[in-house]
A and B are shown apart, each in its own frame.
Chain A
Amino acid sequence: MLFKLVSNIKSKYSWFLPFLLFLLFGFNACGAAAIQDEIDPDAFAWKYKAILISGDSSITAFDNARESVKRLLVSKGVKPGDIYELSRIKAKLRGRIKYTTEKNIENAFKQLKVGLNSACMIFMSSHGSEYGFSIDGVELFTPDELNALLIKYCGTQPAVVIVSACYSGIFTNNKMLHPNRVIMTAARKDRTSFGCGVENQYTYYDGCLVANLSAYRTWRSVALSARKCIERKEVGLLPSLPQIYIGQDVRTLQLPTR
């Protein structure tokens, strides 16, 4: 029976079967390739100064992400004193954690005291609109405002900006695209992102980010792998299309290392 099957195949399509198998499995192998961490052995070990912002009190997912990102940064050697946190949930306001307002965000920038060997990292998680990052629906933190603070307080030092919110692609407008910046957003400027339910520990994007922060050593790899992770999560949903921008100064910028 088996012999008959094989001979049937061979006699008719002996030349074509290997070709088809190549198409099927060769192509699959290409498509499934994992993201390579392009580590520059001579890369400078920047000293990170971070501002972590959760901007909404309606659910805890945004604060969960802020707290997890902080833990990951500390585990990677960032001094807790160099991390400034803002939350909109009043019960979380203890120690150095301040209430999220535009004024307090600027105050946090003022405290960064960026030196020549410093890199800035800004993580923001909340709801969003086509015009900006929502602070409990009371204030709107716009890309222009963030750009002005980055210019003033981080200057040309490397800066990693992660905005996790609906329509956060607006933070990759032309004015934001400086060569010293890595910008990662949860969605394209015309798309929503997902996972803002009460039952969610993290939003979809924050979950992917947190999972990949510990897996890779360069921001580029983290950004690409988070995007792939989102693509897997969003089957059946209108894709959020996370945006990634990597300036020429920071192409091989590494995450903090001990």
Chain B
Amino acid sequence: MNRSRLVLNKTIQIICNLFIVCLFTLSTSSIYANDWKENLRGYNSAMKQTEKPKIIYFYADWCHACESVKSEIFGNTKVQEVLENFAAVKIDVDQGENSSIVRKYMTIVYGNSGSYAIPEIFLVEAGGDRIVRIPPVNRTTPNNFNEYLNKFLSNKIPFVKKRQKNEVTRERPKKGPVNIQPYYGYMQAQFSWQPRNFALQSGLGEPGSNAPKEVYGIDTGFTFFKRYGFGVELYLGLAYYDQKIGSYLDGGLSFNILDLKGFQVWLTNGIGTGPFSVSSTHIFMNYYIKTTFMIGRQISLFSKMRFYFDYNTVFDMQNPYWSFGTGYAF
């Protein structure tokens, strides 16, 4: 009985000793096996080592991902072998003395917003101060981290300029509302002087069946050079949009491509801007095909098929709109 207890005690003692040895090995040799210098003093001393490139690791105790970098990357023996070629510094971002170093490096990546994330790892060339940031995708495994370090050592990683602004892709629509139009379909009374040469037009717009509600327009315009088969059109209008009234300008070139005894087809391409005071600069281009039937010399019926491009949507094509109207020529 005593003997078996003695054997059991001995076994437990051996296991405990082994466990302690393992813990000691892990804590001292496996993680941060390299000669890591720390914080401001360590950074300054590493920077004096001009013969070696530097690796600078920013971390904090509260940072969850830093634990993974510490154990999986810096704890890896193959990584540690490559790190022998570097002067290694780790910077605790929570230490007040490091604030200037943190600012210097984080500004490169995060700009001046004051917000940054960790872990971040930077490489600095030997004998210089050109800096490379290691992107997260290059530290997903010890192997690809080593690959990146080796590329750096063989000068295959392009340097970024010191304090370079973070290059980001900001996908933003231009300011101002999109998809608005002064008016879509409209009923228009047409007044003409010298009908084939010069026309004064005035119309009250109302939304077509497929047009946004609360968009009404009234405009007055001129058409010049109509007798030559084309017209230069210029309109000044008022649009009621978003419960506000704003003015707009619209103009363009119209070309009469067909004229058969009262049946006319006009192609127009135009550009307009507005409604002012309702939105910020809003520029639109529109193309429309206008078909006119003259009834006698004074009354006309016309329809327009309008293609509409909006500058604010990067000239994205909107749905074509049909509009119908009548005109009366004096």
C-alpha spacing A97/B14, complex, angstroms: 47
Q: State the Cβ distance, A17 to closest chain B Cβ, in Å.
A: 6
Tell me the chain A residues, 10-58 only, with Cβ under 8 Å from chain B: 12-13, 16-17, 20, 23-24, 27-28, 30-32, 44
Q: Please state if A246 and B307 are interface contacts (CB–CB under 8 Å).
A: no
Q: Is B127 an interface residue (CB 8 A)?
A: no
Tell me which of B41-49, B68-76, B84-92, B218-226 binds A: B68-76
Interface string of A225-249 (1 = CB under 8 A from B): 0011001001111110101111111
Q: Is the CB of A246 within 8 A of B171?
A: yes
Q: How far is the CA of A208 from the CA of B110 in the complex (A)?
A: 31
Contact A155 B117 (CB under 8 A): yes
Give every chain B residue within 8 A of A103 (Cβ-Cβ).
none
Give every chain A residue within 8 A of B139 (Cβ-Cβ): 116
Smallest Cβ-Cβ distance to A44: which chain B residue: B137
Q: Is B178 a contact partner of A239 (Cβ separation < 8 A)?
A: yes
Given contacts A28-B317, A116-B72, contact A8 B259 (CB under 8 A): yes
Contact B179 A231 (CB under 8 A): yes
Choose from A8, A154, A235 the contact partner of B65 (Cβ within 8 Å). Answer: A154
Q: Tell me if B170 counts as interface (CB < 8 A to partner A).
A: yes
> Whole-angstrom distance between the alpha carbons of A252 and B260 in the complex?
57
Q: Which of these, B65, B178, B255, B309, contacts A156 with CB under 8 Å? A: B65
By size class, the interface of chain B is 35 or more
Q: A176–B114 Cα gap in the complex (Å)?
A: 10
B56 to chain A, nearest CB (A): 14
List residues of chain A with CB within 8 A of the CB of B116: 151, 178
Interface size class of A (residues with CB under 8 A): 35 or more
In angstroms, Cα B65 to Cα A158, docked, is 12
Residues on the A chain within 8 Å of B211, using CB: 236
Given contacts A31-B316, A155-B117, contact A116 B73 (CB under 8 A): yes
Which of B114, B169, B258 meets A251, CB within 8 Å? B169
A238 touches B242 (CB 8 A): yes
Please determine whether B315 and A31 come into contact, CB atoms closer than 8 angstroms: yes
Chain A residues closer than 8 Å to B170, beta-carbon distance: 177, 245-246
- Residues in A whose Cβ lies below 8 Å from that of B178: 231, 239, 241
The answer to whether B65 touches A243, judged by C-beta atoms less than 8 angstroms apart, is no
* Beta-carbon contact of A156 and B177 below 8 Å: no
Contact A248 B169 (CB under 8 A): yes
B229 near A12 (CB under 8 angstroms)? yes
Cβ–Cβ contact B267 & A20, under 8 A? yes
Check B141 against A228 for contact (C-beta < 8 Å): no
Cβ A156 vs Cβ B315 within 8 A = no
- Residue picked from B62, B116, B215, B257, most chain A C-beta under 10 Å: B257
Report B204 CB to chain A, min CB distance, Å: 20
A174-B317 in contact given A23-B287, A223-B171, A249-B137 (Cβ < 8 Å) = no
Q: Which of B166, B179, B309, B317 is close to A248, meaning CB atoms less than 8 Å apart? A: B166
**Cα–Cα distance between A119 and B309 once the two chains are bound (Å):** 39
Q: Is there a chain B Cβ closer than 8 Å to A117's Cβ?
A: yes
Contact A248 B167, beta carbon cutoff 8 Å: yes
Docked CA distance A78–B166 (Å) = 31
Say yes or no: is B196 at the interface (Cβ < 8 Å to chain A): no
CB distance from B259 to the nearest CB of A (A): 7
Q: List residues of B (205-248) whose CB comes within 8 Å of A's CBs.
A: 211-215, 229, 242
Q: B313, A179: Cβ atoms under 8 Å?
A: no
**A147 lies within 8 A of chain B by Cβ:** yes
Cα(A224)–Cα(B172), bound, Å:
10
**Given that A31-B316, A179-B110, A245-B170 are contacting pairs, would A156 and B136 also be in contact in the complex, using a CB cutoff of 8 Å?**
yes
**Cα–Cα distance between A5 and B261 once the two chains are bound (Å):** 12
Residue of B117, B137, B166 touching A151 (CB-CB under 8 A): B117
Q: A177–B64 contact, CB under 8 A?
A: no
Decide yes or no whether A69 CB sits under 8 A from chain B: no
Give me 9 A-to-B residue pairs in the complex whose CB atoms sit less than 8 angstroms apart, sorted by A's number.
A24-B287, A28-B307, A116-B139, A176-B115, A177-B170, A220-B171, A227-B173, A236-B215, A249-B136
Residues of B within 8 A of A (CB): 62-66, 68-69, 72-73, 109-111, 113-120, 135-137, 139-141, 166-173, 177-179, 211-215, 229, 242, 255, 257-260, 267, 269, 287, 307, 309, 313, 315-317, 319
Other than the known A9-B258, A152-B64, what 17 A-B pairs have Cβ atoms closer than 8 Å?
A9-B257, A12-B229, A13-B257, A151-B115, A155-B63, A156-B65, A156-B117, A156-B120, A156-B136, A174-B111, A174-B115, A220-B171, A235-B212, A236-B212, A238-B177, A244-B172, A246-B171
